[in-house]
A and B are shown apart, each in its own frame.
Chain A
Amino acid sequence: DAGITQSPRHKVTETGTPVTLRCHQTENHRYMYWYRQDPGHGLRLIHYSYGVKDTDKGEVSDGYSVSRSKTEDFLLTLESATSSQTSVYFCAISHGQGDQPQHFGDGTRLSIL
């Protein structure tokens, strides 16, 4: 298995609170991604990073911010969580070359009450 660790694995919090999810990799891959998975929507890209301090928005970036201060860590922050952000969040990594596949972590289940 690709060395990807997501933390926490589960979290329950209240509307309006800040939340930070962490993705840690040991593969030294250049690219890192955050997705959310919701019923009927599949996997949707939130933000991704193509290097340290280099990030870009995905399809559903509103309400989320990211940071990558070192190769191995990619943080996803919900500044003020809303119930619509209740979801399962997946981190992925890739070399980003040709058809080299992305490898995914096991996800964080986030519930916002």
Chain B
Amino acid sequence: DQQVKQNSPSLSVQEGRISILNCDYTNSMFDYFLWYKKYPAEGPTFLISISSIKDKNEDGRFTVFLNKSAKHLSLHIVPSQPGDSAVYFCAALWAGNTPLVFGKGTRLSVIA
């Protein structure tokens, strides 16, 4: 049973507009949530994270929102740029040094 779900396999957005990537989870014991970005032929790179005790974390153009009651988080990219075109993975973990649990990813295409 998938504990972290990214239900949209792909998303297409125009340059300059907002990109919203969604992620749902089933385990209320997760302590942290992370987003990774992956370009073809490269390894995933860490983008931004949020603790379960917060509801928002912002880093430049990237903001992650967490709604614990809905077990839902989202990544907002504003403004979207062509270089943001990549696969984005949502991941979660329990404190205590356990491995990350990943979603299946969403492919974002930013169209110029």
Contact = CB atoms under 8 A, between A and B. Distances in A.
* A-B complex is real: yes
Interface of A: 4, 31, 33, 35, 40-45, 48, 50, 58, 90, 92, 96-99, 101-107
A103 B102 contact: no
B103 A42 contact: yes
Interface in B66-101: 89, 93, 95, 97, 99-100
Contacts, number: 54
Contacts of A4: 43
Given A42-B102, A43-B89, A102-B100, 17 more contacts: A4-B43, A31-B97, A31-B99, A33-B99, A35-B102, A42-B89, A42-B105, A43-B44, A98-B32, A99-B49, A99-B51, A99-B93, A104-B44, A105-B43, A106-B41, A106-B43, A107-B42
A90 B44 contact: yes
Contacts of A101: 34, 36, 46, 49
A48 B99 contact: yes
B28 interface: no
B43 to A, nearest CB: 3
Interface of B: 6, 31-32, 34, 36, 41-46, 49, 51, 89, 93, 95, 97, 99-100, 102-105
A74 B46 CA distance: 21
B99 A58 contact: yes
A97 B97 contact: yes
Given A31-B97, A33-B99, A90 B89 contact: no
A43 B101 CA distance: 8
Nearest to B87: A42
Given A43-B89, A98-B32, A50 B43 contact: no
